[in-house]
């Protein structure tokens, strides 16, 4: 069944509920043109599309960085309203974003301090901060590096620590921007094993189609601010005409 045509879901089962979302930048460029999206709790979804399709713009609406020109966004049934500081703070704890460049998230003297930064700013007590930070580092298999300076780690290790900084906030939704970029094969595999083990909703923005196939059961293609496909990842990646029309390519020799 095509998810674009599926019926309404019980709001209690939804992590992300986007309705008729439109957004225009100040220069008049309309980046999103009536986007509708429902993602159930625990789903792992890949967001695909060519550069300039509106993927980043959509993601920035999910935690209130951008405010919709028209339409609405709900996270776990809670309306995202950039003017409501109290609910916005709660939503940003529920929606964790891991940026493409881990150095955008790592700025403290040690790995542990980086991971503890979020819980500390949530106003948690010292014992809870330590417990959450240790648990997050264990989840990404980086606890033994907790006293290390982040800039002394490999790129793959820094990306795993960046994931831990978000997991320490105990989010319901994990958004990843090109998580496999610049990773060697071993680091790529290690990260995929971590992502597959997590009990959270995952929305992964990526051009890496094999990685989408490995991690996400469902994939969406966004182009010119509209969804043009929403289906099982395998079905989408087998449709060569659909991929070509949206400037997406599988690596030569990759078979599904």
What are the pLDDT digits (tens) for 59-106?
999 999 999 999 999 999 999 998 888 889 999 999 999 999 999 999
Per the prediction, the chain carries an average pLDDT of 93
CATH value at residue 190: 3.40.50.300
Which alpha helices (H) appear in 62-184, and where do they start and end? 85-94, 111-121, 126-139, 155-167
Report the domain count for the chain.
Answer: 1
Indicate whether 130 pLDDT > 60. Answer: yes
Tokens at 57, concatenated: 């713009």
Please state the rounded mean pLDDT for residues 3-21. 71
Q: What is the domain range of residue 176? A: 3-245
Q: What is the pTM of this model?
A: 0.91
For 19, the enclosing helix (H) or strand (E) is: strand 14-24
Tell me the Ramachandran region of residue 46: left when phi exceeds 0, alpha when psi lies from -120 to 50, beta otherwise: beta
Indicate whether 6 pLDDT > 80. Answer: no
CA–CA gap between residue 100 and residue 162 (Å, rounded): 10
Residue 4: its pLDDT value, please? 44
Please state the rounded mean pLDDT for residues 177-199. 96
Q: Say if 253 falls within a structural domain.
A: no
Indicate whether 8 pLDDT > 50. Answer: no
CA–CA gap between residue 157 and residue 151 (Å, rounded): 10
Q: Say if 255 falls within a structural domain.
A: no
Residue 1: its pLDDT value, please? 40
């Amino acid at each position: 069944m095509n998810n674009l045509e599926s019926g309404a879901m019980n709001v209690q089962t939804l992590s992300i509920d986007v309705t008729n979302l439109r957004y225009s930048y100040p220069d008049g460029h309309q980046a999103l043109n009536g986007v509708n999206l429902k993602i159930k709790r625990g789903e792992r979804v890949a967001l695909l599309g060519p550069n300039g399709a509106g993927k980043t713009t959509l993601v920035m609406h999910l935690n209130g960085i951008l405010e919709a020109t028209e339409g609405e966004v709900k996270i776990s049934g809670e309306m995202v309203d950039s003017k409501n500081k109290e609910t916005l703070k709660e939503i940003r704890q529920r929606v964790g974003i891991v940026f493409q460049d881990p150095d955008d998230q790592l700025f403290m003297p040690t790995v542990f301090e980086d991971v503890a930064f979020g819980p500390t700013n949530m106003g948690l007590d010292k014992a809870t901060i330590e417990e959450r930070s240790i648990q997050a580092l264990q989840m990404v298999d980086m606890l033994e590096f907790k006293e290390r300076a982040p800039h002394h780690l490999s790129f793959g290790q820094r990306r795993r620590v960046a994931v831990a900084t978000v997991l320490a906030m105990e989010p319901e939704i994990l958004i990843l921007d090109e998580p496999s970029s610049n990773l060697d094969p071993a680091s790529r595999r290690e990260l995929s094993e971590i992502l597959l083990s997590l009990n959270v909703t995952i929305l992964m923005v990526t051009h890496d189609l094999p990685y989408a196939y490995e991690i996400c059961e469902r994939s969406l293609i966004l182009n010119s601010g509209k969804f043009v496909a929403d289906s099982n990842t395998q079905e989408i990646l087998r449709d060569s005409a659909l991929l070509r029309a949206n400037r997406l390519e599988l690596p030569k020799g990759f078979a599904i």
